[in-house]
Amino acid sequence: MNLGRITGQVRIVGAGLLGASIGHGLRAKGVDVILHDASRTTATLAIDYGAGRAPQADDKPSLVIVAVPPDVTAEVVARELMAWPQATVTDVASVKVGVIDELIALGADLDRYVGSHPLAGRERGGAISARADLFIGRPWVIGRGEPFRRRAIEDVVIELGAIPVTMSASEHDDAVALISHVPQVVASLLAHRLAGASDAAVGLAGQGLRDTTRIASSAPELWVQILGANAGPVASVLREFQAELAVAIEALENPDAPGSRRALAEVLAGGNDGVARIPGKHGTSKQFSRLVVIIDDKPGQLARLLTEIGEANVNMEDLRLEHSPGAQFGLAEISVLPEKEATLLSELEARGWKIAETFA
């Protein structure tokens, strides 16, 4: 029973986290999902978990989704285009220009191919970690191409709860270089500086350091592939970063030279401008007021706090927990609309909560 807009068979090649998650999501909507993987064990496992069914001799997929590692994506897309002469074929690789270049070199039928890329969280897992709702609310880039082919992919994206975004392959690769690949390199370079630091120095670490370096814990194997596949756009953004870094270092090494303070101020103001471009909740970059509440580090405390925020009829816009090393309590940073701050502050204080800090 298909309740949605997808009427044909969907064939998924590659039963890792992305492929199996697409399978689960589409099957939940009643779609006939054919699952194939080069590894029979992987395919069987994903099918056992309910991500799709095994291929049959009379399969006739209208859409093929290739969800294999980036370095073999083009080859598999070309093979699928040959195998299913009517089908639309897409892939979900995180870099797009290289796939098209390879497909051209392979002489593939590009009329039926439109690349895509779901920006779906952490790329860990495999079939066991797959989830029907992995894509809910996430952007999913679909390449420019033949409208009929694009529509077939868009139908899947919408069924999975993702938000379709149209971009050419090079627009996409430039965008992900900027918003994902360069931050990864920069976070890794920054975190590496800590490798030789004293315990005393890292013991002073606050939330700022934790935030700026968190993604530096990503898997090197995967990221070498991603960076290699998008090397040009990543290098180009890093070159700009490098030029401004040189200005900052020059200013710091000559702090009393004329213009040095101004150069540093411009670096910092540039950062202000940039961070203001990142869309916040509901697509806005609205500024919230924040309250920092002290909570005991035991079950139920945070729930009680949030229940009481709810009772105060204040909608929490964001929440962040912070633990102090060695301390038996935590800090909950609560963001609310500025006009709600005073109400919340007095309600919480009336209920005995200790507010560590408030700022707009």
Minimum CB distance to a copy of itself, residue 358 (Å): 7
Q: Which of 239, 270, 265, 238 is closest to 252 using CA atoms?
A: 265
Minimum CB distance to a copy of itself, residue 253 (Å): 5
Q: Which of 85, 151, 158 is closest to 118 using CA atoms?
A: 158
CB nearer to a copy of itself: give 20 or 87. 20
CB nearer to a copy of itself: give 1 or 195. 195
Whole-Å CA distances, 193 to 105, 144, 165, 198, 201: 42, 41, 37, 11, 12
Judge contact between 250 and 193, C-beta under 8 A. no
Minimum CB distance to a copy of itself, residue 51 (Å): 15
Minimum CB distance to a copy of itself, residue 262 (Å): 9
What residue ranges in the chain does DSSP mark as E strands? 9-13, 33-36, 61-66, 88-91, 116-118, 139-142, 163-166, 289-296, 318-323, 329-336, 354-359
CB nearer to a copy of itself: give 83 or 222. 222
Distance CA 241, CA 243 (A): 6
Pair of tokens at residue 356? 């560590």
Distance CA 9, CA 152 (A): 11
CB nearer to a copy of itself: give 86 or 239. 239
Minimum CB distance to a copy of itself, residue 336 (Å): 11
DSSP assignment string, 258-289:
TTHHHHHHHHHHHHHHHHHTS--GGG--PPPE
323 CB contacts (<8 Å, ≥6 apart)? Answer: 297, 330, 331
Q: How many CB atoms lie within 10 A of CB 311?
A: 10
DSSP assignment string, 339-350:
GGHHHHHHHHHH
CB nearer to a copy of itself: give 30 or 270. 270
Minimum CB distance to a copy of itself, residue 22 (Å): 14
Minimum CB distance to a copy of itself, residue 242 (Å): 6
Minimum CB distance to a copy of itself, residue 285 (Å): 10
CB nearer to a copy of itself: give 147 or 232. 232
Residue 41 C-beta-side C-alpha neighbours within 13 Å: 1
State whether residue 40 is helix, strand or coil.
helix
Helix 231-253 / helix 182-192 crossing angle, nearest 10 deg: 40
CB nearer to a copy of itself: give 158 or 209. 209
Minimum CB distance to a copy of itself, residue 55 (Å): 28
Q: CB under 8 Å, gap of 24 or more: what pairs does 268-272 form?
A: 270/244
CB nearer to a copy of itself: give 11 or 290. 290
Distance CA 181, CA 179 (A): 7
CB nearer to a copy of itself: give 104 or 321. 321
